[in-house]
Amino acid sequence: MVAPLLFSFADQEAPATLTLRVGKYLHKDGTPHWCKALVLQNGTKVRKLNIALPNFRPEQVYTVGIEIKPGKGRYRDTRMVTISPQFIVDNRCSGKLKISQRAYATSFFDAEAQATHLDLPPSCNLPFHWPRLDKEQLLCVKLVEMDRCHWSGGFPIGAVDSFHINIR
């Protein structure tokens, strides 16, 4: 949702804290859990939003970044809370890319692995969440329009950096 949500606390004496969860209809067969309470102090924080899935499947986890900053001018008594995905992948190439967590970047047909792949058309940016947090958090890239293209090696995306990726 990309619209502001206005709210205020009923009890001014209570601590200003929030708790979040993913909506119930994102994973209809799952049960979303509330995250740890978030104190509304200025700064940047990260929270993991968990969804328990049935049949002993691993939990689905969404990692979000939360920025809290004070309002300006006549809104100086307001706190602006911005919630966004921790990672956004931006394709600045002229061709279509496919991205995957390294554990799922396989060269053979695997329906479970392919369900986690994201297709990125040129000039597109998408939020990215790790399909599995218990697997190594390395991202792989593949050129879709090139025949017999292999996955790149895995690389970390947690730090802001600029580098080249070799793809065979």
Q: 22 with 51: CB under 8 angstroms?
A: yes
**Per-residue pLDDT at 33:** 94
Give the mean pLDDT of 7-29: 87
Residues 98 and 151 in one domain: yes
Q: Is residue 68 part of a domain?
A: yes
The length of the chain, given as a count of residues = 168
Please tell me whether residues 149 and 133 are part of one structural domain. Answer: yes
- The torsion of the CA quartet 58, 47, 106, 167, rounded to 10 degrees, works out to 180
Domain shared by 66 and 110, yes or no: no
Domain interval for residue 60: 17-85
Kindly state whether residue 164 falls inside one of the protein's structural domains. yes
pLDDT by residue (tens digit) across 45-80? 999 999 998 988 888 888 899 999 998 999 888 888
DSSP code of 113? H
Averaged pLDDT for residues 126-135:
87
- Say yes or no: 127 and 157 in one domain: yes
Model pTM score: 0.74
- Name the β-bridge partners of 65: 46, 84
pLDDT confidence of residue 2:
62
Do 137 and 74 share a structural domain? no
Q: Are residues 48 and 114 in the same domain?
A: no
Query: Could you tell me if 100 and 162 lie in one domain?
Result: yes
The number of distinct structural domains making up the chain is 2
Classify residue 27: in a domain, yes or no.
Answer: yes
150 and 100 belong to one structural domain: yes
| Residue 32 covered by a domain | yes
In a shared domain, residues 55 and 120: no
12 alpha carbon, distance to own chain's centre: 33
Q: Are residues 52 and 123 in the same domain?
A: no
Residue 1 has pLDDT above 60, yes or no: no
- Please say which residue of 51, 68, 85 terminates a domain: 85
* Boundary of a domain, candidates 61, 85, 109: 85
Last-in-domain residue among 37, 55, 85: 85
